[in-house]
Structure 1
Amino acid sequence: MCGRFVMSRASSDLVALFDVDVTGDTLPEPSWNIAPTAPVSLLVDAAPRGDDAGGPPVRRLAAARWGLVPSWADDPRVGAKAFNARIETAAEKPTFRDAVVSRRAVIPASGYYEWADEPDGSKAPMYVTLPEGELMLFAALYEWWRDPARPASDPARWVLSTTVLTRDSSGPLAEIHPRMPVLVGAELMEDWLDPETEGDADLLEGVSGESLQHAERCSFRRVAEVGVPQ
């Protein structure tokens, strides 16, 4: 599961690191406590249009609402409960299955929080990271939702939203929670983002399996307060 995470780097760093071609007008500021429904940085490879049609994908960095709102939803508030999606069933669930096919993304993160059970029944916040400040890349899905209450001329009528895929925990992460975010590495990132690659069960299984090697490299430490890693 992933219900709080950290992005401590500026958007300009992400643009350079991931060779971004196009950026959104308003990108999220660094934050040590990103919660569901907050804006997050989303990396997407989109098929080029117009004169560039047929060319290589265009990499975009945009702000998306964390909590996926399917295109057919009547109320965007349904996204508040869809900030995570189980990778084992995402291709079957009406909320996520269309996005699996062609709207896949990654969410960069410096680390994330998980709450571990204590012997006295309380829960302790743990901060999970990769070694040496390496960024995590959460496997994600995204959707566009059109607000029918706004006129067609209003750019704000379109809402971009996203969800983080999760799987059974592995390695050291299994000590603190039974679920973990699916972590994407360079080996599969291009295929995962490729808009020409049709998402199916095999693709989901491949990225989920690759996530295990990244989980083995993760470590965690207890923090006194979420939002203030020590």
Structure 2
Amino acid sequence: MCGRYVVARATADLVSIFDVQDVGDGLPDPAWNIKPTNRVPVILESAKGEDEVIRRLEAGRWSLTPSYSKELKTKFATFNARSETAAEKATFRGSVKSKRAILPADFYYEWHTEGKTKTPYAIHSPNDELLAFAGLYTWWPDKSLPEDDWNYWTLTATILTRTAVGEVSQLHDRTPVTLPPSFWDEWLDAGQEGDQTLVDSAVAAATPVAEALEFHQVAPLKGDGPELLKPISS
């Protein structure tokens, strides 16, 4: 799973890395202790009005709320979605079809549990290259507001997870789907109708990235800053 993560790069860096054409408002500052429902950077491809499809960087709420939900807060946790079943679950299948995203990260955290003891670890690529989590998104309408209200639409997003492989499987049995750059365009392609086959292809493409992930133990997560990534002895 992925319950906390880090985005340490500035908006300009994300724009350059992902060839973003349009940058939305209210993007969050770099953060080292991102939690579910926090605002996070979300890369997606869509059209604005009658315009052609472009790649956009938007601020989204990390926990997907389907558009049919009456409330923004969901009954069950939706910050992660299992890749094996995302295409069949009512909450996620519409997004698999036409609203796929990438959520960038520099690190993510996982807790290894032994008995009642949970030990946090920071997980990253071998060269600290950016991680691109395969995600899904929706625009949730707050129907208590008039449609022309600035807050009527809320972008919400989730991170797809898979069975853990490689060294990180020692920590937890699930891990995010970490897309390589060669699969970014295919995953984001708004003109491609997504299904379970596409999700499975994303998982397969992500396997080499997942197998290469490294990690180190960190102190309990308190506050928000780069010091949270400091390695400590086990």
Residues paired across the two proteins, number: 225
Match for residue 116 of structure 1? 112
Residue number among 149, 153, 169 corresponding to 1:154 in the alignment: 149
Distance (whole Å) between structure 1 residues aligned to residue 75 and residue 185 of structure 2 = 27
Q: How does 1:166-185 map to 2 (within 5 A)?
A: 166-185=161-180
Match for residue 18 of structure 1? 18
Amino acid at match of 1:121: K
Match for residue 229 of structure 2? 229
Contact 2:2 2:175 in 1 (8 A): yes
Rate the CA distance shift 1:6–1:187 in 2: closer, same or farther, 3 A. same
Distance (whole Å) between structure 2 residues aligned to residue 80 and residue 36 of structure 1 = 12
1:73 lines up with 2:42 in the alignment = no
Q: How many Å apart are 1:84 and its aligned residue?
A: 0.4
Q: How does 1:190-209 map to 2 (within 5 A)?
A: 190-209=185-204
Secondary structure of the residue aligned to 2:127 is helix
Q: How does 1:14-93 map to 2 (within 5 A)?
A: 14-47=14-47, 49-50=49-50, 52-53=51-52, 57-78=53-74, 81-93=77-89
Contact 2:24 2:59 in 1 (8 A): yes
Which stretches in structure 2 are left out of the alignment for 5+ residues?
none
Amino acid at match of 1:31: A
Higher share of residues assigned helix: 1
Task: With the length of structure 1 as denominator, give the TM-score of the two structures.
Answer: 0.94
Match for residue 5 of structure 2? 5
- CA displacement, residues 195-229 of structure 1 (integer Å, 9 cap, x when unaligned): 00110111011001122110111100000132511
Residue number among 79, 85, 100 corresponding to 1:104 in the alignment: 100
Rate the CA distance shift 1:26–1:48 in 2: closer, same or farther, 3 A. closer
Secondary structure of the residue aligned to 2:37 is coil
Residue number among 205, 208, 226 corresponding to 1:210 in the alignment: 205
Residue number among 125, 134, 137 corresponding to 1:139 in the alignment: 134
* Aligned-pair Cα RMSD in Å: 1.4
Contact 1:67 1:80 in 2 (8 A): no
Match for residue 187 of structure 1? 182
Structure 1 segments, 4+ long, off by >6 Å, are: none
Amino acid at match of 1:173: V
Q: How many Å apart are 1:79 and its aligned residue?
A: 7.3
Contact 1:37 1:80 in 2 (8 A): no
Contact 1:139 1:181 in 2 (8 A): yes
Contact 2:4 2:34 in 1 (8 A): yes
Contact 1:46 1:58 in 2 (8 A): yes
Amino acid at match of 1:59: R
Distance (whole Å) between structure 1 residues aligned to residue 98 and residue 14 of structure 2 = 23
Distance (whole Å) between structure 1 residues aligned to residue 130 and residue 34 of structure 2 = 15
Amino acid at match of 1:45: E
* Percent pairwise identity: 43
Amino acid at match of 1:5: Y
Amino acid at match of 2:12: S
- CA displacement, residues 147-202 of structure 1 (integer Å, 9 cap, x when unaligned): 01111220211011000000100011110000000111112110100000110111
- CA displacement, residues 22-55 of structure 1 (integer Å, 9 cap, x when unaligned): 11111011000000000000000124653x54xx
Match for residue 163 of structure 1? 158
Q: How many Å apart are 1:121 and its aligned residue?
A: 3.4
Contact 2:86 2:196 in 1 (8 A): no
Which stretches in structure 1 are left out of the alignment for 5+ residues?
none
